Structures are given as C-alpha cells and as structure tokens.
Amino acid sequence: MSDKIDYYEVLGVSQDADGETIKKSYRSLALKYHPDRNPGDGEAEERFKEAAEAYAVLSDSEKRRVYDQYGHNGLSGMGGGGGFGGFGGFEDAFHGFGDIFRGFFGGSGSSGRQGPRRGEDLSYELEIDFVDSLLGTERVISIPKEENCPSCGGSGSRTGRRESCPQCRGQGQVFQGNGFIRMASTCPRCMGQGTVASDPCPDCYGQGRVKKRREINVRIPPGIDSQNRLRYQGRGHQGIQGGPPGDLFVEITVKPHDLFSRERNHVLLEKKIDMTLASLGGELEIPTVEGEVRKVEVPPGSQNGKLLRLEGLGFPTLGEPSRRRGDLIVALNVVVPKDLTERQKELLMEFAELEEVKKGESIFSGIRRKVGAKIKNVTGRRR
C-alpha cells in the first residue's frame, strides 16, 4: 500500500476514533469488498487489502501509537507497513474481526461460541519530571476499566437467565458469502457468547459490563527514560465469563529540564564561565539534578568546550539501582565580555602587547642565543 494513503482515510474514521468505531468501519468495508462477493474485481480486492492493512495497525494500540507519531516510516521497524504481507499474512490482519475462511467447499467450521476470555490490556501515557526520572517516584493515575456489572454479576440478565442468540442461533458467529470461501465474524448482538439475556439488566443494558474509573498507584523506578514502558499485570480490563484480567501498560515521557539533559546514563550540563577563570583557573560551583551544589576545580588555560566530570551524579541503570550511577558531565562555555570599561580595555591592550612580546621572544630567542654564542667564540679565537 502506498505511503501516501492514510490509514484513517482508508477506514473512513477520525484520528480520535475509539476501537469499537474502527472495528465497525473495518467490518463494513471487509464485507463490501471481500473477493468472494466481488469475483474478478481487482479494484475491490485492492480496497479489501487496504482495509485489512489499516485495521491491523489501528486495532493494535502500540502500532497505532507509533503510526500517529511517525507515520508509515515508523512502522518499518515493527514488522508492519509497506504492504499487506508485512502484518504476518491474511489471517493476522483479521485479528479481532473473526475467523477468516472458516469453511471450505461450504463447510460450516467449528462453533464460534466463546467461553472465558482474558480482559483487554490498557494503555496509559504518563509524563514525569526530569528529577523523578533520576530518583524514581510514585504516582496515582485514574483509568477507565471495563468490569462485570455488579447488579447482574456479569450475566447481563436481571434474573440471571440467558437464552440462545436469535441472530447467530447460538453459534457466536455470523457468516457471509457462498461457495468456495465463507467469511465468519463475531456476532454483533451477543458479541460471540452465543447467548443473550432474556431479561436485560437495566444497569448494563444486558451487556454484563460497565465502565468504572479506578485509581491505581504506579511506582516509577529510578533511571527510567522516555519511551520506556511499565507493565502492571492484572490491572487492565476485567476478564469475560471468569477469564483473567488484562494488563496495564504505562508509557513514560520525561519532561525536558531547563539546565540538564541526558545521554545514556550521564547527565549533561553547560556552564558559562568568564575568560579570567578560564585563563587563571579556580573553583567553580556546579548545580546537580538533586538540588545540591558541588565545587570543582577549573584548570588554568581551560578552553571553550572543555569537559569536567563529577562521578556518580548521573542516572542509575534501570532495574539495577544498586549499580554505579553515570556521571555529571559539565561542558565549559567561555564567555567573552561585551561592555568593557576604559580601564578594562587598557588592561587588555597591555595584555595583548605582552602576548606579542612573548610570541616574538618565543620565535627569536633561540636564534639570538645561537648568534650570541657564535660571536663569543669568534671573539675568543681572535684574542
């Protein structure tokens, strides 16, 4: 598929569309352009493949995040993008839609009725300060979770009674197409369960699921960086029909600092100094990320860009805080004064003259010594 084609345009949804909207749009397009319903139609087949490729990305939270941030190029390192085959073949692209090619030569395939299912994973983006990424911290986040309805216990029925779904006749799937290939999708009425509530619960409208906002305490370990992802097992959506809960994934973004930056496990700092300190050397106060002030010696004759190192004041290795930390590396920025007083100008002129004399002596002093020695030798022989 061409990189110029936007996946959201392919499915006809907005960029902030939720997963259910994306799934419904994809199902509609897949049914419309399926090759079994459009035999010999090359354009329909291409639209069918485009829709499958777009859904394979937008239905996957990680791939969708990368695509939203970096576009098609960002997917090249994830095994996705650049063609329909990049998503692992025909069947992988229909993950979440239902089983494809369930029956051959008119076969009905196995029943789609689903038992206990694992809850879906949750993803949360958390922004933290630079200092917190160095030292670690704890945060309380609020997330919306799907849970079993407390009124009906997840059955969806006020009385707990359920009956066979009239749309799929208890199969949990509906089929489209005739002949060589038949396409199966999850029944939209019973959501694959094969049964529906005979007396729908008024609190969950017969779905058996409700959304609750829950607060979760998240511990951020020292040394974490942007793009790191924390996993909290069992903190995602509750499982269906007694299935295990999904996981919670917390994506970390570290705010930039006004003074410091990070390079691997080292903290970088640019420090301005005047030309006299750079020339003569002396003591310099350096701030640290933790708020302390350390004193270091600037060597005489330090040039612009010289690096000073304060060991052990950088980041720890993520997951191994007991190991030696990185360093605080200070790059000196020698500042030349702009507004000089007359006296300062006079002193600099005098300094410049001394430098010229020094340079002249350095060039000719050796020659003078040699010439003087020769003259002395000649004079001595004449005597």
CA distance 57 to 95: 11
Examine the fold and report which residue of 64, 97, 130 is the final residue of a domain before the chain moves on.
Answer: 97
Predicted local distance difference test score (pLDDT) of residue 170: 80
Residues 290 and 374 in one domain: no
Is residue 268 domain-resident?
Answer: yes
DSSP secondary structure code for residue 242 in this structure: T
- Residue 60 covered by a domain: yes
Burial status of residue 55 (CB atoms within 10 A of its CB: 0-12, 13-18, 19 or more): buried
Q: H or E stretch including 103?
A: strand 103-104
Residue type, 180: F
In a domain, 200, yes or no: no
Q: Is residue 12 part of a domain?
A: yes
The pTM of this model reads 0.54
Distance, CA of 135 to CA of 95 (rounded, Å) = 41
Q: Give the chain's count of helices (H) and strands (E).
A: 8, 16
27: buried, middle or exposed (CB in 10 Å: 19+, 13-18, 0-12)? buried
User: What's residue 187's pLDDT?
Assistant: 80
Going residue by residue through the chain, which has 383 residues, state the pLDDT in tens, using 9 for 90 and above: 444 578 898 999 998 888 889 988 998 888 888 776 777 788 888 888 888 888 888 988 888 888 887 777 767 655 444 444 333 333 344 444 443 333 333 333 344 445 677 888 999 999 999 999 999 999 999 998 888 888 887 778 877 777 888 888 888 888 776 554 567 777 877 777 788 877 888 888 777 888 889 999 999 999 999 989 999 999 998 887 778 899 999 999 999 999 999 999 999 999 999 998 999 999 999 999 998 999 999 999 999 999 999 999 999 988 776 678 899 999 999 998 888 898 988 888 888 888 777 666 554 455 555 555 555 555 555 44
Decide: 117 and 241 in contact? Cβ < 8 Å. yes
Q: Which of 298, 316, 335 is the last residue of a domain?
A: 335
Give dist(CA 100, CA 332) in Å, integer. 64
Residue 230 domain flag: no
**Amino acid occupying residue 215:** E
Q: What is the pLDDT of residue 82?
A: 42
Show the domain range for 303.
Answer: 260-335
Give me 31's structure tokens. 């049914």
Q: What is the dihedral of CA 274, 278, 282, 286, to 10 degrees?
A: 60
DSSP, residue by residue, 21-63: HHHHHHHHHHHHH-TTTSTT-HHHHHHHHHHHHHHHHHTSHHH
| Domain harbouring 85, CATH code | 1.10.287.110
| CATH number, residue 313 | 2.60.260.20
- Split into its structural domains, the chain has a count of 3
Cβ–Cβ < 8 Å for 268, 259: no
Residue 289: Cβ within 10 Å count: 20
Structure tokens at 5: 């084609």
Residues 289 and 367 in one domain: no
Question: Is 50 domain-assigned?
Answer: yes
Q: Are 18 and 89 within one domain?
A: yes
pLDDT number for residue 376? 53
Among candidates 273, 246, 270, 243, which has minimal Cα distance to 259? 270
265 shares its domain with 309: yes
157 within domain boundaries:
no
In-domain check, residue 276: yes
